[in-house]
Amino acid sequence: MAFAHTYGIYNVEGTLVAWLAGRLAANKPASVATARLNLNHPEQALVPPEWSVHFLGYDPDVSGIQGGHVGGGDVGGRLFGIMEVNCWVSRKTDAWRKTLNQMQDAVLKAVTVLRETGGGVVLRDFYTSENTPSTLTALVHIERAEVVTTAPDPNPDIERRRILIYFNWVERA
């Protein structure tokens, strides 16, 4: 029997990572053509310039949906999450500030373009297939992106820019 929790966190995170990877590839300026997306930082070493992604947890909507009914005979509620995207560069390169700003711009452009077209990323079913996930009839809504000041990195050769992307979706059971 297949696992049938198609709106779960695994699918939401997979959907957002796939969306971000696609948008960064499309928005990447020529000067940061070598930048990649590191999904396993800190386990996987940084090789700047690169982006890293972390999910910072999920909170339910305390007001809830009336009776927990979310349509189609399902019950559930809205969940809110934060995706942290970090831009990493080496200060050993002369153009590190330019590179850092362009990497930040690529992330912010992805969010801005999505917001202008309704703010929703079509949810995909990564439980069915990690390589070719089917689309589902639900959206992950991107609310906003916020650039957050960080403390200096302990390694003086590394500079980081932290961006928080706020999102939500209706979790169904």
Helices of type H across the chain: 9-27, 96-116
pTM of the model: 0.90
pLDDT at residue 61, as a whole number = 76
pLDDT at residue 70, as a whole number = 63
Residues of the chain with pLDDT under 70: 1-6, 62-73, 75
What tens digit of pLDDT does each residue of 11-59 get?
Answer: 999 999 999 999 999 988 888 889 999 998 989 999 999 999 999 999 8
Q: Which fold has domain 9-172?
A: STM4215-like (3.30.2000)
pLDDT at residue 148, as a whole number = 96
Q: Where do the structural domains in the chain lie, given as residue ranges?
A: 9-172
DSSP state of 162: E
Strands (E), 33-98: 36-38, 50-60, 69-71, 74-90
